[in-house]
Amino acid sequence: MNWRRPLAFALAALACSQLAGCFSFRREAARPGRTTLSSPLIVLPAQRLGTFLVIESKWDRGGPWHFLIDTGANTTLVTPEFAQRYGYKPDPATPVALVSIVSADGQTIALPATTIRRLELGEARFENISARIYDCAALSAHLGVKIDGILGFPLFRETLLTLDYPRDRIVLAPTLGNPLIPGAAVPFNNSNKTPLISVRLGDKPLVALLDSGSDAALSLNPVGLSPQFTYGPREGSTVSTLTGDRPQSIGRLAESLNLADYLLPTPIIELSDELSAIGGAVLQNFSVTFDQERDRVTFYRDSPAPIVTEPRRSPGLSFSKTPAYWRVAGVVPGSAASAAVERGDLVTRINGEPVARWDFRRYTRLVAEAREIAFTFLNGTRETEKRLPVFELVP
């Protein structure tokens, strides 16, 4: 499955709503209740899975626990297992509070609320965290690593948070310090401690959310922009949201994106009717420091050269994954796969190997390099191999 916003609702557009053509953010009070940094500089090694940085932590007999940081989310999600171990025990006589949130596709879902007593990331300790309970099983299967929580932006209200993608690490420091890595600073475009910043698309100003919980490059709401394309837009992969799956509308712009002091010529974008957002496929080129005390974000990159968006390759299939099989969640119209595969078909092998051997990174490399892929489909008790060409979904 192609997880566009697994995290930012898909998983991470938590509180983004559209009202009379305008976007409005509603931000909770500062969270967590208490933040303690026992070191002036806390460096957390991270595992890169696609455009996501996954951090591992263990502070008692539980765990180890794995977390994603989602700067596009205004709340933290934790699994039922994590909430059971570290959440305050609810009063059996009191009904469980359900909180409605908005998914990236505009639909709502109600999740149980909880308060986490503590969460530790290395030498950083967070206490009394307002959170929602969500089963991250589908995301865990997609990434091949058990995910125990998705850490929303307010959790880091009292820290300098650096997502250092080039060095595969997360860095935390006190808010009164300076960024570990200097760079081009951009102010937040609001006073609500939300990482909305101003960028330019060609000669047009644009406000975009910095969304580390999205694996896209740029999700673009075209209202008022009238974007021009060198290719597309066309229907692309199927993407996951909390409330279901939906197809992409994807293409390559004729205009360039200016982000701080950096240029992205003719980027690939996904059209959206939600808030425009800059996702991990762009952020991964930088060390990005979020300073909520000063309402600003700093971008640093070793090279000032333009950031080129490579063609998007695909075998024409999107999947939802389990260890035993991958279910076809979507088929790209007009692709070779559309004449041979249907949504719901089950894949048991890839190039002759069980799907359990194909973790996120290995399969991503295969799609990036292969000319064709052999998928083995299960029909009843019979297995049938079909070879599908890998093509440029967006050149």
Domain end: 278, 309, 340, which one?
A: 309
Domain end: 280, 309, 338, which one?
A: 309
Q: Half-sphere exposure of residue 129, counting CA atoms within 13 Å on the CB side?
A: 32
pLDDT score at 311:
96
User: Based on the number of CB atoms within 10 Å of its own CB, is 313 exposed (0-12), middle (13-18) or buried (19 or more)?
Assistant: middle
Tokens (6 digits) for 301: 């990159």
pLDDT score at 191:
80
Cα–Cα distance measured from residue 197 to residue 71, given in angstroms and rounded to the nearest whole number:
13
pLDDT over 90 (residue 109): no
2 and 131 share a domain?
Answer: yes
Cα–Cα distance measured from residue 46 to residue 55, given in angstroms and rounded to the nearest whole number:
5
For the stretch 278-310, pLDDT in tens is 999 999 999 999 999 999 999 999 999 999 999
For the stretch 332-361, pLDDT in tens is 999 999 999 999 999 999 999 999 999 888
Residue 17 pLDDT class (50, 70, 90 cuts): very low
The pLDDT mean for the chain works out to: 87
Cα–Cα distance measured from residue 222 to residue 235, given in angstroms and rounded to the nearest whole number:
16
For the stretch 199-210, pLDDT in tens is 999 999 999 999
| C-alpha dihedral sign at 13, 18, 21, 27 | negative
100 and 228 share a domain?
Answer: yes
- With residue 201 as reference, give the H or E element that holds it: strand 196-201
pLDDT over 90 (residue 184): yes
Q: What is the pTM of this model?
A: 0.88
317 and 303 share a domain?
Answer: no
In sequence order, what DSSP letters do the residues of 133-181 get, joined into one string? E---HHHHHHHTS---EEEEGGGGTTEEEEEEGGGTEEEEEETTS--SS
278 and 385 share a domain?
Answer: no
Mean pLDDT of 359-385: 94
Residue 96 pLDDT class (50, 70, 90 cuts): low
pLDDT over 70 (residue 30): no
pLDDT score at 90:
75
Tokens (6 digits) for 143: 């990434």
137 CB neighbour count, 10 Å cutoff: 12
Q: What is the CATH number of the domain that holds 357?
A: 2.30.42.10
pLDDT score at 110:
84
Q: Are strands 204-210 and 196-201 parallel, antiparallel or unpaired?
A: antiparallel
Nearest-Å Rg of the Cα atoms of the chain is 21
pLDDT score at 190:
84
pLDDT score at 14:
29
Start-to-end CA span in the chain (Å): 21
Q: What is the CATH number of the domain that holds 184?
A: 2.40.70.10
pLDDT score at 23:
30
Determine contact, residues 392/311, Cβ cutoff 8 Å: yes
Higher pLDDT, 7 or 193: 193
Residue 93 pLDDT class (50, 70, 90 cuts): low
Nearest to 154 by CA among 49, 69, 218, 93: 69
Higher pLDDT, 333 or 177: 333
pLDDT above 90 as % of the chain: 72
pLDDT over 90 (residue 97): no
pLDDT score at 238:
76
For 230, the domain range is: 1-309
Query: For the chain, how many structural domains are there in total?
Result: 2
For the stretch 309-333, pLDDT in tens is 999 999 999 998 888 899 999 999 9
Q: Which residue shows structure tokens 């998914």? A: 103
Determine contact, residues 179/298, Cβ cutoff 8 Å: yes
Cα–Cα distance measured from residue 236 to residue 234, given in angstroms and rounded to the nearest whole number:
6
pLDDT score at 244:
60
pLDDT score at 2:
45
125 and 205 share a domain?
Answer: yes
Residue 119 pLDDT class (50, 70, 90 cuts): very high
Cα–Cα distance measured from residue 101 to residue 14, given in angstroms and rounded to the nearest whole number:
6
SS3 306: coil
Cα–Cα distance measured from residue 70 to residue 241, given in angstroms and rounded to the nearest whole number:
15
Domain end: 309, 336, 362, which one?
A: 309
375 and 259 share a domain?
Answer: no
Nearest to 291 by CA among 126, 166, 180, 200: 180
Cβ within 8 Å of residue 198, ≥6 positions away: 186, 189, 205, 206, 207
pLDDT over 70 (residue 65): yes
For the stretch 218-229, pLDDT in tens is 999 999 999 999
Q: Which residue shows structure tokens 């002036």? A: 40
334 and 294 share a domain?
Answer: no
pLDDT score at 11:
37
361 and 228 share a domain?
Answer: no
Cα–Cα distance measured from residue 115 to residue 129, given in angstroms and rounded to the nearest whole number:
5
Determine contact, residues 227/255, Cβ cutoff 8 Å: yes
283 and 369 share a domain?
Answer: no
pLDDT score at 240:
66
Comparing 83-97, 139-153, 331-345, which segment has the lowest mean pLDDT? 83-97
Tokens (6 digits) for 218: 């740029």
156 and 270 share a domain?
Answer: yes
Determine contact, residues 284/165, Cβ cutoff 8 Å: yes
Tokens (6 digits) for 265: 């010529």
For the stretch 233-253, pLDDT in tens is 999 887 765 556 678 899 999
212 and 302 share a domain?
Answer: yes
Q: Are strands 169-174 and 124-133 parallel, antiparallel or unpaired?
A: unpaired
344 and 298 share a domain?
Answer: no
pLDDT over 80 (residue 6): no
The 10 Å CB-count burial string (b at 16+, else e) for 358-378 is bebeebeeeeeeeeebebbbe
pLDDT score at 161:
96
